Structure formats: C-alpha cells, structure tokens
Chains A and B, each alone.
Chain A
Amino acid sequence: MGLEPGRLQFSWVSSAEAIKFVDVVKEVTSIIRDLGPNTHFAKKSFEVVDKDLQTTGTE
C-alpha cells in the first residue's frame, strides 16, 4: 500500500526478555533512521502550514 519495507515491523517480546527487547528497539530505530522521516503517509497540508510558520518566524 505504499509503505517502505521496514517501516512497519512486528515482534513478539515477553516481559522476561529484556535483552531481546533492547535488541529489537535498537534494530528498529536504526532501520527507521536509515529510512528517514515518513513522507508517504504524512499530510501534505501540514508541510504548507509549517513553511508558513517558518517564514513568519524569520521575518
């Protein structure tokens, strides 16, 4: 549906598996960092608002 591979991940971690949890979090964050900000499912109108705010901010 247009999500990049790796953007959505599933993992089964028991409350007793602290080490696995840490590993999963590290792996997920590193993959997501490489992918960069999510643009495919972010509203475009927000970008416009942001730009407006930035221009008014600098003036």
Chain B
Amino acid sequence: MLEYIHKIREIASDLLKKKEVEMVIGFRKGTVPMMNEPTFVNRPEDITALAWDSHCGINLANYLPNRKEKIAIIAKGCDSRNIVTHIIENKIQREQLVIIGVPCKGMVDRQLIANRSEGEVLEALEDDDNIIVKGHGFEKRFRKTEVLQKNCEICIHRNPILYDKLVADKVEEQTDMDRYEDIRRIEAMDPKEKLDFFDKILEPCIRCYACRNACPLCYCPTCFVDEHRPQWVGKSQDSTDIRVFHFLRAYHCAGRCTDCGACERACPVGIPVRLLTKKLEKDCLELFQWEAGMTIDIRPPLDTYKPGDPDDFIK
C-alpha cells in the first residue's frame, strides 16, 4: 500500500499543473507518529507533502461541504461513500470533484498499538504486512491484520465506489464475516441492562465533541449541542445528558453513516461510539436494504417515502 504514494503524487501534481483543480485534499505526515493529518495542496511544487501509509484513518470527505472551488480528493472506500452522501445531500457538486480512488487494505488502530507498546511510540515504520514501532529502549513489530481499526476489520467496501482515477488495481473485498455480532448482543439485553451498559461505555465522555468534528456527516451550521435557543440537550456531565448527546448524534447519522470509524478514532477517551451508529446502519440494511453511499442515483430511505416502508410500530 506504501507504493500508492508515487501514483497519488503523480496524479495530483498532474491535475494541479494542468489547472484542472485548484487544490488537492490529502494526507501529510503528522507531528506525532501514527497521526497523519489532512492537508490542502494548492501548488504542484508542494506535492511531496502528500503522504500515504496505514495511518490515514481520518475521513477526508469531512473537508468538502460547501466548498466552491474545483477539488481533487483522495478517497478510500469509506471516504468515497461519504463523498457520494455529500453529493446526494447537495453539499458539493459532482462536477467540482476529481476523486482519486485508493483501494484500501485497512487502517491501523493507533490507540491499540500505543496500549500494546512498552513506552511512548516515537517512530512508526511499516512494510506490506507489518507495523514496526520504536521508542526509548524498545522496538516492536505488529502484524497489520492484528492491529486494524475495528471498522476496517469488518469492512466490506475497501475499494472506492465513486472515483475518476484509481491509484492501483482494486483489492479483494472481504466477505463472509459477521458484521453485527456485537450489536445483536446489545439488542438481546433487557431495558435496564441496556441502560447500564450505555452508561458504562459513555461514562468517560468529556463532551469534547471530537467525534462530531471528525464526522463528515456533521456539517450543520449550528449543531444541536451548541444551540441554546432553544437548548435541545443539557450541557452537563450528567449521565442523561451524555446519553442524549450520543444517541441524538447517532440518529442524525441514520442511513448516512458508512462506518468509516472517524468518530471512534477521534475519541480521546476510547468510547466505542460506533456501537451506536452501527445499530442504525444495521436497521437501515434490514428495514430498507440500504447501505449508505453506494449510489448517487437513489434517494436515501430517510428522505423519501415509499408505500412499502415498514410501519408495524404505528398503532
């Protein structure tokens, strides 16, 4: 996957030179290891800033809404599905975009690697199958498949859905996996158990809203949590307020979430935020046979009405 970068730079610099786009949205090395950050490249001579490795977990579609210029954007499978969602929701026009598709073999979970290392990770290297981390007095090697982000482990759309250029041949999609084992376990709990379970996983939340900021779907001019006239949700650390925030945010993502994992990756206290969005993703699949971001030609289930929509819950 490392060799992608040459092709990415080649395509990006070509587009900039020919003035087909005004900027390229991609990744550059972060100031700390395993934390690549988004970057906007406007000039062909800056193209070497672009980087690609197994730490590009951030969803770049987050930087598209309401942009007016012509943009080239680097997109993994999940990013491309979120770009589709943006186009459907009219946050960006298809004609504005040159999508540089990157077939993805999964991004690694930096928190997991940090937890399994004996000290602070100061350098991270990788070859095709392994991640090698170094710090003061230790060096450790991880098989990439063992430290993948949880959403990448169960990803079934590694190849971009919508793209103009592809940096490499498509990779094989993962099949035959149980995507919703954890969700079914929660569904089987009784109400009190569920309440206690959610309180337990949400307890460390500090209401920093990093999950919201990392999410490409959260582009409202004023988020419901910031609104105070009217104030929809309490701003305290009370467990009810925390629960209301997380549940409501998840509901706003229903039928739109692509399980890109940006929220969970961004969380500084390790809350499994995806458990909430994944339940809604499962419901959309089961009730409407819908997977978000797979086509720009069909309206999503929650912004259209069909006579056959399930309505057993209405008496």
Could you tell me the distance between the alpha carbons of A2 and B197 in the complex, rounded to whole angstroms?
Answer: 9
B42 to chain A, nearest CB (A): 45
A48 to chain B, nearest CB (A): 11
Interface size of A in residues (CB-CB distance below 8 Å): 16
Please state if B194 and A2 are interface contacts (CB–CB under 8 Å).
yes
Contact partner of B238 among A10, A40, A44, CB < 8 A? A44
Query: Would you list which residues of chain A between 2 and 56 have a CB under 8 Å from chain B?
Result: 2-5, 9-12, 24, 40-45
Contact partner of B315 among A5, A24, A44, CB < 8 A? A24
Contact partner of B198 among A1, A12, A43, A45, CB < 8 A? A1
Stretch at the interface among B14-22, B132-140, B239-247: B239-247
Please state if A12 and B195 are interface contacts (CB–CB under 8 Å).
no
B253 to chain A, nearest CB (A): 15
Enumerate chain B residues within 8 angstroms of A4, measured Cβ to Cβ.
191
Residues of A at the B interface (CB closer than 8 Å) are: 1-5, 9-12, 24, 40-45
Please state if A12 and B314 are interface contacts (CB–CB under 8 Å).
yes
A29 to chain B, nearest CB (A): 14
Task: Give chain A's interface secondary structure class.
Answer: loop
Could you tell me the distance between the alpha carbons of A43 and B244 in the complex, rounded to whole angstroms?
Answer: 11
Please state if B240 and A11 are interface contacts (CB–CB under 8 Å).
no
Enumerate chain B residues within 8 angstroms of A1, measured Cβ to Cβ.
194-195, 198, 243, 247
Could you tell me the distance between the alpha carbons of A44 and B238 in the complex, rounded to whole angstroms?
Answer: 7
Contact partner of B313 among A10, A40, A42, A44, CB < 8 A? A10
Please state if A10 and B240 are interface contacts (CB–CB under 8 Å).
no
Please state if A45 and B191 are interface contacts (CB–CB under 8 Å).
no
A35 to chain B, nearest CB (A): 10
Could you tell me the distance between the alpha carbons of A44 and B195 in the complex, rounded to whole angstroms?
Answer: 14
B304 to chain A, nearest CB (A): 19
* Listed A/B pairs (7) with beta-carbon separation below 8 Å: A1-B247, A2-B194, A2-B195, A2-B243, A5-B191, A40-B195, A43-B241
Residue B222, interface by CB 8 Å: no
Please state if A43 and B313 are interface contacts (CB–CB under 8 Å).
no
Could you tell me the distance between the alpha carbons of A43 and B240 in the complex, rounded to whole angstroms?
Answer: 6
Enumerate chain B residues within 8 angstroms of A2, measured Cβ to Cβ.
191-192, 194-195, 198, 243
Contact partner of A42 among B192, B240, B247, B314, CB < 8 A? B240
Could you tell me the distance between the alpha carbons of A24 and B236 in the complex, rounded to whole angstroms?
Answer: 36
Enumerate chain B residues within 8 angstroms of A11, measured Cβ to Cβ.
314-315
Could you tell me the distance between the alpha carbons of A9 and B198 in the complex, rounded to whole angstroms?
Answer: 22
Residue B234, interface by CB 8 Å: yes
Could you tell me the distance between the alpha carbons of A59 and B192 in the complex, rounded to whole angstroms?
Answer: 36
Please state if A43 and B191 are interface contacts (CB–CB under 8 Å).
no
